[in-house]
């Protein structure tokens, strides 16, 4: 063998002898690797425990590992000492780790069980004040004729019962008066016909005072006064809103605004009814709304409709008088949705004679429903997947998603109707156990 080969072998053995202590008694990743090899291969020498714990690394750059304290060569921060020994985890086997990620979650989170209880629920809702349509009075023409004198000129003009609204000329009324005067003059003993003539004039709209005046003077009145039978505010009837001149035709009486009111923003303050206009028999020319009796229309959202019942107590606070508390109850719940609304409307009647709240005022309602009994969980424990709701039930080694049936949601709690047993432990916050709602498989 050539002599140079002896020198090569000598240098290799000398290098191994110099590095032997570092591999056997050193620290760092080499020691950890040596320790792992010694456990799996008999006869290997294991690094001492006192030395293999001496590992220093950078908190910002974990790839930097040193055997001794010092500074990080990248950010110049002090290296931190860490433990290199591993920790044994019990309770998780290979079958657990190989379960699909969308059906089983390995985690350690606080758990909670369902609590049975009775919860008194308060429903918050918004609404507005409008006229009580049960108190709306109509002023109609009982005969056809022409308006000679009009005593009201603008909408919202206050009127009281018995007040003159207009003087009207009617050929039919004039003829009926002449018939009565003829009977009184030529057949005064015929009480039956005279009584029938008097009754006809009263039915055609003459007041008892006007009739007595005709009998006393013996002359037929050219015009007859039409009076209001109600107290409140004057508004145009539906058939009069589009009338500006000529004959006021007997149109519809439908109202387009909230609570049966016309949309007052689309018409002027001036009444369309004018002197000289002709009206038809049976036509409603004006309406009178009573502002002393109103109701609040409260909008109930879909998730709260099952909580509200007729007769539930309600407190109202109006935005124009927040210091005033109005006590009432749910008097009526409308059986259908209103146009362009997805909320159910409930009515609360109250006396507005003292409060004098403006019609249209916004109100905030607090409805106190009957207590609801059942099993309850924190709202965060139930995850909504759209049509389904799930809760993560604790099992051996992790959590499994279970479909649950839920009821009411109130004050951070959700009612559980089915899908869980009373003894089931579920994750307190289910949001931490999901990556995407579309990936969850429920049982």
Q: Which residues on neighbouring strands pair with residue 418, listed in sequence order?
A: 405
* Edge-to-edge strands, sheet with 137-140: 137-140, 284-289, 232-236, 158-159
> Which CATH fold would you assign to the domain 111-117+372-439?
2.40.420
How far is residue 98's CA from residue 305's CA, in Å, rounded to a whole number?
A: 46
Residues 170-226 have pLDDT tens digits of 999 999 999 999 998 888 888 899 999 999 989 888 888 888 998 888 888 888 888
Q: Which of 83-87, 111-115, 352-356 has the lowest mean pLDDT?
A: 83-87
Residue 146: the pLDDT is 93
For domain 293-368, the CATH architecture is: Beta Barrel (2.40)
Q: Is the pLDDT of residue 236 over 80?
A: no
Band (pLDDT 50/70/90 cuts) for residue 17 is low
Distance CA 403, CA 405 (A): 7
Check whether 250 has a pLDDT greater than 80: no
Q: With contact defined as beta carbons under 8 Å apart, do 357 and 321 qualify? A: yes
Mean of the per-residue pLDDT values of the chain? 77
168 beta partners? 147, 224
Indicate where the chain has its CATH 2.40.420.20 domain(s). Answer: 111-117+372-439
Which residues neighbour 360 within 8 Å (Cβ) at sequence distance 6 or greater? 128, 129, 130, 258
The answer for residues whose C-beta is within 8 angstroms of residue 27's C-beta and 6 or more apart is 47, 51, 52, 53, 54, 55, 67, 84
Task: List, for residues 271-304, the tens digit of each pLDDT value.
Answer: 888 888 999 888 888 889 888 888 899 988 877 7
pLDDT in the model for residue 196: 92
- In angstroms, the CA 32 to CA 35 distance is 5
Q: According to the model, what pLDDT value does residue 199 have?
A: 92
Residue 97 CB-density burial (10 A; 0-12 exposed, 13-18 middle, 19+ buried): exposed
Structure confidence at residue 369 (pLDDT)? 81
Among 15-19, 55-59, 63-67, 376-380, which is the least confidently predicted range? 15-19
Check residue 438 and give its pLDDT: 44
Instruction: Report the percent of the chain where pLDDT is more than 90.
Output: 8
pLDDT at 426 over 60: yes
Q: Which two tokens stand for residue 357?
A: 């709240």
pLDDT at position 15: 59
The backbone torsions φ and ψ at residue 34, rounded to the nearest 5 degrees and listed phi first, read -60, -40
Task: For the chain, give every residue range classified as CATH 2.40.30.170.
Answer: 293-368
CB 285 within 8 A of CB 141: yes
pLDDT band for position 372 (50/70/90)? confident
Residue 154's beta-bridge partner residues? 270
In the predicted model, what is the mean pLDDT of residues 62-90?
80
| Residue 230, helix vs strand vs coil | coil
Average pLDDT of 94-113? 67
Q: pLDDT by residue (tens digit) across 31-63? A: 444 444 444 444 444 444 444 557 888 888 888
Cβ neighbours for 388, distance < 8 A, ≥ 6 positions apart = 403, 442
Cβ-based neighbours of 94, under 8 Å, separated by 6 or more: none
Across 344-349, average pLDDT: 89
Of 4-13, 89-98, 176-185, 378-387, which has the strongest mean pLDDT? Answer: 176-185
pLDDT band at 99 (very low <50, low <70, confident <90, very high): low
Residue scoring higher pLDDT (255 or 72): 72
Find the mean pLDDT for residues 380-388: 83
Comparison of pLDDT for 259 and 148, the residue scoring more: 148
Calculate what percentage of the chain has a pLDDT beyond 70. 73
Asked if pLDDT for residue 86 goes beyond 70, the answer is: no
């Amino acid at each position: 063998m050539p002599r140079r080969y002896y020198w090569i072998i000598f240098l290799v053995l000398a290098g191994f002898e110099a590095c032997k202590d570092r591999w056997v008694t050193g620290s760092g990743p080499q020691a950890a690797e040596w320790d792992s090899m010694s456990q799996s291969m008999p006869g290997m020498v294991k690094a001492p425990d006192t030395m293999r714990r001496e590992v220093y690394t950078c908190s910002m750059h974990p790839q930097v590992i040193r055997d001794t304290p010092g500074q990080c060569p990248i950010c110049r921060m002090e290296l931190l000492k860490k433990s290199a020994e591993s920790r044994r985890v019990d309770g998780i086997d290979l079958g657990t780790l190989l379960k699909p990620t969308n059906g089983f979650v390995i985690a350690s989170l606080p758990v909670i069980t369902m609590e049975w209880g009775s919860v008194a629920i308060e429903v918050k809702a918004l609404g507005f004040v409008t006229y009580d349509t049960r108190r709306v009075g109509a002023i109609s023409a009982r005969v056809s004729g022409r308006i000679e004198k009009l005593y009201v000129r603008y909408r919202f003009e206050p009127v009281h019962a018995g007040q003159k609204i207009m003087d009207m000329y009617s050929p039919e009324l004039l003829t009926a008066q002449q018939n009565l005067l003829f009977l009184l003059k030529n057949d005064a003993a015929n009480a039956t016909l005279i009584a029938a003539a008097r009754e006809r004039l009263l039915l055609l709209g003459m007041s008892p005072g006007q009739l007595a005046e005709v009998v006393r003077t013996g002359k037929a009145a050219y015009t007859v006064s039409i009076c209001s039978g109600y107290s409140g505010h004057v508004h145009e009837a539906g058939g009069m809103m589009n009338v500006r001149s000529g004959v006021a035709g007997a149109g519809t009486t439908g109202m387009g605004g909230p609570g049966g009111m016309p949309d007052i923003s689309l018409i002027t303050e001036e009444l369309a009814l004018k002197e000289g206009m002709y009206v038809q028999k049976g036509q409603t020319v004006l309406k009178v709304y009573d502002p002393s009796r109103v109701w609040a229309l409260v909008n109930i959202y879909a998730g709260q409709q099952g909580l509200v019942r007729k007769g539930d107590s309600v407190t109202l606070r109006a935005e124009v008088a927040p210091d005033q508390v109005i006590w009432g109850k749910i008097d009526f719940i409308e059986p259908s949705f209103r146009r362009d609304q997805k909320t159910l409307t409930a009515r609360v009647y109250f006396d507005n004679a003292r409060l004098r709240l403006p019609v249209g005022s916004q109100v905030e309602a607090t409805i106190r429903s009957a207590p609801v009994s059942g099993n309850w969980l924190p709202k965060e424990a139930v995850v909504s997947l759209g049509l389904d709701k799930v809760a993560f039930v604790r099992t051996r080694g992790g959590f499994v998603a279970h479909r649950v049936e839920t009821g009411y949601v109130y004050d951070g709690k959700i009612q559980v109707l089915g899908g869980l047993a009373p003894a089931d432990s579920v994750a307190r916050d289910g949001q931490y156990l999901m990556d995407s709602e579309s990936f969850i498989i429920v049982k």
